[in-house]
């Protein structure tokens, strides 16, 4: 019996319809999975926020620590007012400490805007407590 990777290498037909019954992974044809494969072969990836969020989940599933680190770095550096709430939901689901810390610092830096638009920015109470604690710690260190 041939190894699965050798079967894939021998396949010359690129029409996905040919493989619909053969593919066992439902996400195999997804863009995110193709990006993961590209990263494994080329060790580089161009991220967007959505791709970093989706790719993090797949990299976590397949224990790709280098890719997890790249996604974390990208997310930490690209927190915006229009997306930080969805990033909080992501962080809570996947327990991504560095991104959580970056979000907390982002909230501290943008507290006036966030406080002025509380209806739009529904920050979880636990984050507000953590922000208050960090601000008080910064005040004591001076």
Token representation of residue 20: 């619909």
Domain range enclosing 95:
80-142
| pTM for the predicted model, two decimal places | 0.72
Domain boundary among 78, 95, 110: 78
Query: Tens digit of pLDDT for each residue in 90-138?
Result: 999 988 899 999 999 999 999 889 888 877 788 888 998 999 999 998 8
**DSSP-based three-state secondary structure for 22:** coil
Domain boundary among 78, 93, 121: 78
Query: Tens digit of pLDDT for each residue in 46-57?
Result: 999 999 999 999
Number of domains in the chain: 2
The answer to whether residues 66 and 93 belong to one domain is: no
The answer to whether residues 42 and 87 belong to one domain is: no
Domain boundary among 78, 97, 129: 78
Buried b vs exposed e over 64-95: b needs ≥16 C-beta within 10 Å? beebbebbbebbbeebeeeebbebbebbeeee
CA 136 to chain centre: 30
**DSSP-based three-state secondary structure for 46:** coil
Q: Are 51 and 64 contacting, i.e. CB atoms less than 8 angstroms apart?
A: no
């Amino acid at each position: 019996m041939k190894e699965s990777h050798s079967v894939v290498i021998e396949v010359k037909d690129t029409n996905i319809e040919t493989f619909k019954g053969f593919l066992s992974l439902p996400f195999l044809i997804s863009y995110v999975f193709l990006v993961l494969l590209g990263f494994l072969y080329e060790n580089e990836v161009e991220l967007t926020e959505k791709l970093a969020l989706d790719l993090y989940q797949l990299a976590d599933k397949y224990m790709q620590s280098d890719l997890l680190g790249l996604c974390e770095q990208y997310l930490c550096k690209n927190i915006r007012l229009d997306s930080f709430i969805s990033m909080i939901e992501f962080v809570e689901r996947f327990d991504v400490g560095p991104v959580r810390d970056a979000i907390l610092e982002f909230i501290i830096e943008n507290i006036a805007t966030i406080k002025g638009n509380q209806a739009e920015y529904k920050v979880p109470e636990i984050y507000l407590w953590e922000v208050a604690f960090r601000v008080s710690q910064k005040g004591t260190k001076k």
